[in-house]
Structure 1
Amino acid sequence: MPPTPTTPPEPGEAPIRDRGDACPGALRLHAAADGFLARLRLPAGRVTARQIVVLADAAETLGDGSLSVTSRGNAELRGLGDDCGARLAALLADAGLLPSPTHERVRNIVASPAAGLDGLGHADVQLWARALDSALCAEPRAAALSGRFLFVLDDGRGDVAGLGGDVTLIAAPDGTALLRAGSRTFRLPAADAVPAALACALAFLDAAEAAGTGAWRPRELPPEHLPEWAGALARAAITAEPVPSLPHPSAPPPAPGPLGDHALHVLAPLGRLTAAQLRALGEGAAEARLTPWRGVVVVGAPGDRLPDLPALAAHGLITDPADPGAGVTACTGTPGCAKSLADVRADAARAPGGPLPVHYSGCERRCGHPHGTRIEVTARDSDTYLLDGAPVPRTALAEAVAAARKRSMES
């Protein structure tokens, strides 16, 4: 859910918040129109084969039978009953999906999903993600971070560097790491990447406490209370060289299909995976990585065969870049969200595919929209959408979206 400041700021001013963020978690459930919602933080989107089965069972026995993949590669269970919180927590804890009850909402770590699999990139940042998760959970103060604070770890290919991280690490070809925090960029030894990210997160907490505005993310801090990033790194005994803030590397997400010799990438239609689809993905897998593009990278177990792409397609998963559902995302819409003005998922399911992402939103909050260039389709009421600011009748929406995608390709 987008942040809603308690006191709206004047133009150019930082927001003032007099409450903590209301982001749902695995233990803090959110009441929605279709039941309760749990959001499970999965650092780097990683789940083991056993955990995939556990999530499928949870979706089937406690929720609506599906799991949603978020734009941060996390997972959501919807349609939960109001009395299942303890059962869900016990199930997740037993599966190793709840390593720290006090820190479960702050484990927001996105990492290049194909790192270490296809020969691209300059470091296996999936390993950084695991180390950062352990460091966060071991630091008591880190529990004070907002559930919206985001760490981004890019292996140098540029697939996730532009996802709006509050602290971003980018692996460099010379074996160092670039760290972006606020408007500052530093070069540091790759071995210090994880301690540096934690030091910057704690520096933000210091600055937020001094500001007293209840900021959830560094971009919300008043200019006079920005963190002392360089000082925080120095106090953590990290040698960090300030460098110019260069444009971050940028690359498209991997296309559906094989990734190297032992992995493959599929997309979840409109970001939803049924329990049956989850089980199909887990067969023969060592692990799976949920992606910020609402997909899944499946990593094969040693000696086992990967799931067959045609078989996964038969389960309704998107395995072909030319599939009409590739690049089409949507918020929950009606009837699941009381704020939505339309059944955007039903309308998005009829959308044509194409190279430019299209996001359907049920209201002006535009929940779950992808980062980067996209076509925004926003419901104005149950029969009308706004496309590029112009009203379009629902009955003409598919044709209008196809025309907008064609114009974007020609421009």
Structure 2
Amino acid sequence: MLAAMPTATNPPPRDEPPIPVRLDACPGTLRLHMADDGALARVRVPGGVLTAAQAAALADAAVRLGDGTLHLTSRGNVQLRGLEGDCGGALAGLLDAAGLLPSYRHERVRNIVASPLSGLDGTGDADVRPWLRALDGLLCASEAATALSGRFLFALDDGRGDVASLGADVTLIASGAAGAASGGALLHIGGADGALRVRGADAPRAALFAAEAFLEAAEGQSRAWRVRDLPDGAGPLVRATARLLEAAGIPCTYVASVSLPTGAAPAPGIVDGPDDHRALSVLAPLGSLTATQWRLLAEVARTDGDGEVRLTPWRGVVVPGVDRAAADDRLRDLAAAGLITDPASPWYGVGACIGRPGCAKSLADVRADAGTALGTGGGLPVYWSGCARRCGHPQGDWVDVVAEQDGYRVSVRGASPGEPPPATVTEPTPPTAPAVLAAAVASARTAPACTTPLTQ
């Protein structure tokens, strides 16, 4: 139990530190963000890993304190919306009791993504779950880490290249089939050309040292929240991290001109594993789950799985350890509940920010418009944004549908190296022509060279 339940007049027992000037204002569970639909809390879930009981506690919090919906983020975290502004103490109590707040002082810096299928499908060079547990523990034990921005991101990739492409500040890539602890790892920092090779057992500590090297480099720079914000780039951080590792007695080798691997996100459906168990992979339409859908996932994990759910950075959920005989039936149950269980779904690859009425900056109800303009699916992912901030947009190549004052602009954006800017074609559209908008989105998903500003 909490020694003293935090309330509006009684601060948390493990006080959150004063916010240094250089830190951003990312929301957390102890620092709520006020939106048009109420307060918003962002619950960090390192690696996206929850027990079934923790998942149930999040559903209870959404129903008791918020709008009853659980919103998945592009980092595998959970946002609760529609909260009362003074519910911070009650929310902290619920999450603390479920083990979701191991350190009040570190709750916003536990930003770790990990390969969701690691250890489940026989792919990848190692199971990164030992790294995840170790790194989270090291972060929560580090005084220096409390100064990290809520935007600073760690990625643990098992070698398949899925989370390596998410643009993390510090990325560990497993190498060697002996396992994450006894194998090797490549430590990438930001967009630096080279990497540091370390032993697998040392990888979590090496990642923390890289973050501490960033903090030293960012000292005195008020808006250096991430590695890419440093004026000198990531190169000096690699050298600084190597010096810290050497001083700590951790052997490392510099590897020049090594690139991050690239791989696909888990597709919806059944994932076959090396044993007699399977994993169920589903996606949340537009990243949102009702409490009923969420509780069904937790129940499947508890009764048919191994008691765990894994949230993915692609707004999906993986339920591991499902008996082969039960997998098909349970997947049908999840499909009947409205979850995306098949890559052929027209919702597959479609995302959106919260839009109106939840966000005051949004120029449109993008979620309703995305449903109206829904096509047959396939091609590049598409993301609908209510304004030019494009909150939560995907990494890599994607179709950008952004609301403007006179309608929507549809374009192809991305990070494909060497690709020229897409061409621009103006195509006026009447305000009541969702079919034309849907056609433009479908065209952009299959023809990346086309950029179409539209009015709607």
TM-score normalised by the chain length of structure 1:
0.91
1:203 corresponds to which letter in structure 2?
A
Amino acid paired to 1:298: V
Equivalent residue, structure 2, for 1:340: 362
**Is the 2:50–2:309 Cα contact (8 Å) retained in structure 1?**
yes
Question: Aligned residues: percent identity?
Answer: 58
Alpha-carbon distance, 1:224 to partner: 8.8
Pick from 257, 274, 283 the counterpart of residue 299 of structure 2.
283
Confirm or deny: 8 A CA contact 2:29 2:107 kept in the other structure. Answer: yes
Letter in 1 for 2:443: A
> Which amino acid is the alignment partner of residue 339 of structure 1?
K
What pairs up with 1:16-31 in 2 under 5 angstroms?
A: 19-31=22-34
> Which of residues 440, 444, 448 in structure 2 aligns to 1:404?
444
Range 395-404 or range 222-231, more displaced: 222-231
* 1:150-175 superposed Cα distances (whole Å, 9 cap, x missing partner): 00010000111010110000001363
1:105 aligned to 100, 105, 108, which one? Answer: 108
- Structure 1, residues 163-202: CA drift from partner, whole Å, max 9, x if none? 0110000001363111001414111111111010011111
Higher relative contact order (CA 8 A, sep 6+): 1
Cα contact 2:22–2:225 (8 A) shared by 1 = no
**Residues 161-172 of structure 1: pairs in structure 2 closer than 5 A:** 161-172=164-175
1:257 equivalent among 265, 269, 272: 269
In 2, Cα distance between equivalents of 1:360 and 1:224: 31
Pairwise CA distance, 1:322: 0.3
Matches of 1:406 and 1:138, distance apart in 2: 48
C-alpha distance in 2, partners of 1:111/1:235? Answer: 28
Where in structure 1 are there 5+ consecutive unaligned residues?
1-16
* Contact persistence 1:284–1:304 (CA under 8 A): no
- What is the aligned counterpart of 1:236 among 235, 244, 248? 248
Moved more, 59-68 or 25-34: 59-68
1:76 aligns with 2:79: yes
Mean Cα deviation higher: 220-229 or 102-111? 220-229
Deviations 1:123-163 (A, max 9, x none): 11122111100110011111110000000010000111010
Give CA deviations for 1:261-291 in whole Å, capped at 9, x if unaligned. Answer: 3311100000001100011101131111110
Of 181, 193, 196, the residue aligned with 2:189 is 181
The aligned residue for residue 8 of structure 2 is none
Identify the residue that residue 41 of structure 2 maps to in structure 1.
38
Residue of structure 2 equivalent to 1:195: 205
Deviation, 1:223, is 1.7
Whether contact under 8 Å (2:196, 2:254) holds in the other structure is: yes
Q: CA deviation at 1:303?
A: 10
Residue 85 (structure 1) aligns with: 88
How many pairs align? Answer: 392
Q: Cα offset for 1:212? A: 3.7
What is the aligned-residue RMSD (CA, Å)?
Answer: 2.1
Contact 1:73 1:292 in 2 (8 A): yes
Structure 2: state its 5+ residue gaps: 1-19, 178-182, 302-306, 412-423, 451-456
Counterpart of 2:390 (choices 366, 369, 383) is 366
Does the CA contact (< 8 Å) of 1:44 and 1:113 recur in 2? yes
Of the two, which has the highest radius of gyration?
2
Q: Is the 8 A contact 1:106 1:143 kept in 2?
A: yes
Moved more, 35-44 or 343-352: 343-352
Secondary structure of the 2:96 match is helix
- In 1, distance between residues paired with 2:105 and 2:320? 30
Q: CA separation in 2, counterparts of 1:238 and 1:301?
A: 39
Question: 2:358 corresponds to which letter in structure 1?
Answer: G
